[in-house]
């Protein structure tokens, strides 16, 4: 019996405001991933301890409270949490 994989492709046409929100969300996700990757790397280098997903999630909540990072509140929090989950998965797969 032959096995087929079926998929769908969709093309979206966001308006200007939607495109700005998409770009802002992707930029914030990239920042969160890189910021917490640096924290994890520094903690491992200094103490040979790994930072968990729950710890980074709590740090993200604290980070949003600072005025200089208030722009992180403008995007969907689930997207930022997913970036942390992706980072945690990548770190677990590395070790």
> Is residue 31 assigned to a domain?
no
User: Positive or negative CA dihedral for 26, 81, 43, 64?
Assistant: positive
Q: How far is CA 93 from the centre of its chain?
A: 17
Total domain count, the chain: 1
Whether 1 has a pLDDT exceeding 90, the answer reads no
* Domain span holding position 59: 36-44+53-95
> Is residue 63 assigned to a domain?
yes
Q: What is the pTM of this model?
A: 0.85
Best CA proximity match to 86, nearest among 56, 42, 58, 61: 56
36-69 pLDDT, tens digit each:
999 999 999 999 999 999 999 999 999 999 999 9
> Is residue 83 assigned to a domain?
yes
> Is residue 69 assigned to a domain?
yes
Residues of the chain above pLDDT 90, percent: 87
> Is residue 16 assigned to a domain?
no
Average pLDDT over residues 10-34: 97
């Amino acid at each position: 019996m032959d096995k087929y994989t079926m998929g769908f492709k969709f093309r979206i046409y966001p308006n200007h405001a939607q495109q700005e929100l998409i770009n802002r969300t992707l930029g914030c996700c990239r920042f969160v991933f890189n910021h917490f990757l640096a924290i994890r790397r520094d903690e491992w280098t200094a103490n040979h301890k790994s930072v968990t997903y729950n710890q980074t999630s709590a740090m993200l909540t604290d980070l949003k409270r600072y005025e200089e990072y208030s722009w992180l509140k403008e995007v969907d929090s689930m997207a930022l949490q997913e970036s942390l989950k992706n980072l945690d998965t990548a770190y677990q797969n590395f070790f």
